[in-house]
Structure 1
Amino acid sequence: MIKHKSTSMRGVLLAGVMLMCSTGISLAQSAEPQATAIPLDDLSAFQNPGKSWQIAGGVTAELDDENELETVEGKGVLVNEPSRRNKGKDLVTNAEYGDMDLELDYMMAKGSNSGVYLQGRYEVQLEDSWGVKTPTSANNGAIYERWDESKPNGQKGYQGYAPRQNVSRAPGLWQNLKISFQAPRFDASGKKIENAKILRATLNGVVIHENVELFGPTRGAMGNNEVAAGPLRLQGDHGAVAFRNIKITEYGKPRPELVNLEYKVYKGRFEAEPKYDSIPPEAEGTSVALTSEISPFPNDFLVRYTGTLRVKEPGEYTFNLSTGGGRGLMKINNKTVIPNGGRNQRGTVTLPAGDMPFELIYSKLVEWGRPSLGLAVVGPGIREYVIGDKAQGGNNDQGLSWCMRP
């Protein structure tokens, strides 16, 4: 019999930002944070808007002239038309945001240039890039470059990211942009411990960025400092542009935590949960996260985790359990949330704030399946994250992958 204590394991994903796509499981819609639209009946959602900004009912582009838009009276469309008389300035929201999903539609005038600054500091470029064959970090959909004035000419700009491909539409056509943004992380003293990231960005339905780390503010940021929360900023001093359907989903609530996690490994092929008192464990110890790698056996074993689930935000939570090459079961507060079943299962439960007993069972049954254990969690104001392995299941290596919802 093997007896050991373990406080860390290889291959553990302490936190991931993943959604189950077509190769995995879809989440219960009710547990997901809901998007909130920025009202465009007037300009009251923004700080001291400049004279170049207005609310309109519709907009078209003048294709014979650069930087020209024509508007019709009404509501629902945000339009910027800078000119010599009304010099444009950036438009900044009153509200501030941390982790967020942003979705909006925008229309570029011919030859125009604008941008969306996340937290006022990280710019995703908007530009009339119709016809550009090889996009750069200055073209539509790019993550704009950072800037260092002390460097030699030609080297001042750095860490800009071109879109994977140019999927820009012609000026005068509405374009759709989706950005999933993770704010920088700070410790209790205010020291940055993790860079901001653009987890995913899609332009007109095509992925143009994925898992891009932002090492600092881009050129033209409202501040060179980085913050946990900041406003959305729309560039207004470069060219004519229109926006509509600006929607933001916030993810600012604290995540549930697994604490005091212990495990026991049993040798054998278990189709059903055994009577633990009748069989001795082959290995046992403590763990910092869920993983299948604590088992000393490649096949025919059962891992039983017990511990405490600490919930700070009450509400409805959805758990997606992936058990490669086997089956799993999960209990919270001594109640079954996910019954003993196949390798991909889901359970939704309403949880109060506080500490409650947690139990998870992983039984490896399939000889050819790769051992893996993944638990994905989504809840009120919480972006889905993964505790455990990459959760690859079977010989198809179907893992949990991140995707933005259409």
Structure 2
Amino acid sequence: MNYFRLSAVGLLALALTLHVNANPVKPKKGRWETLFNGKSLAGWHTYLKAGEPVSEKWTVDDGAIHLAQGRAGDLVTDKEYGDFELELEWKIAEGGNSGIIYHVHEDPKFKATYQTGPEMQVLDNERHPDAKQGRDNNRTAGALYDLQKPINLGTAKPAGEWNKARLIVQNGKAEHYLNGKKVAEYATSGPEWDAMVAESKFKGWEAFNKFNTGHIALQDHGDKVWFRNIRIREL
């Protein structure tokens, strides 16, 4: 009797194991999720072109997402995120410009990701003219693009070298870090935010930063750029 009872228990355990493996539980909130597997662009699509093949100008090169040449369109995550912590590494070509944009609302009436989402700047500060445009260095690498003076300057490594970026968006606030140093900290709505927008190029843009959730975008600004070790966790 005990033998058959143990056998039945063993079979039940095996059946449960097979069921769990066939239907893996999704990562719980707060766990890190890999956004790039180092081998393919699975989980990403070109802005406004979900379900279509990504341009061959976006390639996977030595474990990194590489924009080989412009006019490929911005790359966006299939999934949308609200509050999150994002980590990645980026490398820009000499004289290059790109960006990491969040809370992107995908709708044909918005032709570009930056029409709806704020941007963490990716730039060759030494050679690209954008570094000296805007106000108070607010277009330099790591900054909240065209909106806020960086907390720390000189955090970016030269073109051709990898930079580690971290972006935290939670409870109506955001922080940018570049190579371990805080570059930006701001409220994502309210009077302080409105005042920054009023003095920026985004003044009067009806949909800019009006969405609490959205896609993460890697910008095609026409220059060669690389991204790797991309992961995110929802907060």
TM-score over 0.5 (shorter chain): yes
Q: 1:182 aligns with which of 170, 182, 192?
A: 170
Deviations 1:354-388 (A, max 9, x none): xxxxxxxxxxxxxxxxxxxxxxxxxxxxxxxxxxx
Alignment of 1:140-179 (within 5 A): 140-145=141-146, 160-164=147-151, 165-179=153-167
CA deviations 1:228-270 (Å, max 9, x no partner) are 320001111331110000110102xxxxxxxxxxxxxxxxxxx
Residue 179 of structure 1, CA deviation = 1.0
Matches within 5 A, 1:202-351: 202-214=177-189, 215=193, 223-224=207-208, 226-251=210-235
Q: Which has the higher contact order (CA 8 A, sep 6+)?
A: 2
Q: Is this contact kept in 1: 2:103–2:209, CA < 8 A?
A: no
Amino acid aligned to 1:35: W
The equivalent residue for 1:44 is 42
TM-score by length of 1: 0.39
State the alpha-carbon separation in 1 of the partners of residues 60 and 149 from structure 2: 31
Paired letter, 2:140: N
**Which one of 117, 128, 144 corresponds to residue 124 of structure 2?**
128
Task: Render the CA deviation track for 1:113-132: whole Å, top value 9, x for unaligned.
Answer: 00000112111111001487
Q: Which consecutive unaligned segments of at least 5 residues does structure 2 have?
A: 1-27, 47-53, 105-116
Identical residues among aligned pairs (%): 27
Specify the SS of the correspondent of 1:210: strand
What RMSD in Å do the two structures reach over aligned CA positions? 2.9
Quote the residue 1:197 is aligned against: 173
Q: CA deviation at 1:93?
A: 0.7
**Amino acid in the other structure paired with 2:149:** A
State the shift of 1:32 in Å.
8.8
Q: Which residue of 1 aligns with 2:31?
A: 34
Tell me, yes or no, if the aligned pair for 2:173 and 2:185 is still in contact at 8 Å.
no
Task: Report if the CA contact (8 A) 2:142-2:178 is conserved.
Answer: yes
Count of aligned residue pairs for this structure pair: 173
User: Partners of 1:225 and 1:174 in 2: how far apart?
Assistant: 28
CA distance in structure 1 between the aligned counterparts of 2:45 and 2:201, rounded to whole angstroms:
21
- CA distance 1:111–1:211, shift in 2 (3 Å): same
In 2, the alpha carbon distance for the partners of 1:125 and 1:106 equals: 11
- C-alpha displacement at 1:47, in angstroms? 1.6
What TM-score, normalized by structure 2, do the two folds share? 0.65
Question: Where does residue 109 of structure 1 map in the other structure?
Answer: 93
3-state SS in 2 of match to 1:95:
coil
Give a deviation string over 1:280-310, Cα, whole Å, max 9, x none. Answer: xxxxxxxxxxxxxxxxxxxxxxxxxxxxxxx
CA shift, 1:35, in A, is 1.3
Partner of 1:79: 66
Change (3 A) 1:238 1:136: farther
1:55 maps to what in 2?
Answer: 60
| Gap change, CA 1:117 and 1:105, over 3 Å in 2 | same
2:29 and 2:234 in contact (8 A); partners too: no
User: Do 1:98 and 1:229's aligned partners in 2 also have CA atoms closer than 8 Å?
Assistant: yes
Contact 2:120/2:176, CA 8 A, preserved across alignment: no
Counterpart amino acid of 2:34? A
Q: Which amino acid is the alignment partner of residue 72 of structure 2?
A: G
The whole-number CA distance in structure 2 between the counterparts of 1:235 and 1:96 is: 16
Unaligned 5+ runs, structure 1: 1-30, 58-75, 146-159, 184-195, 252-406
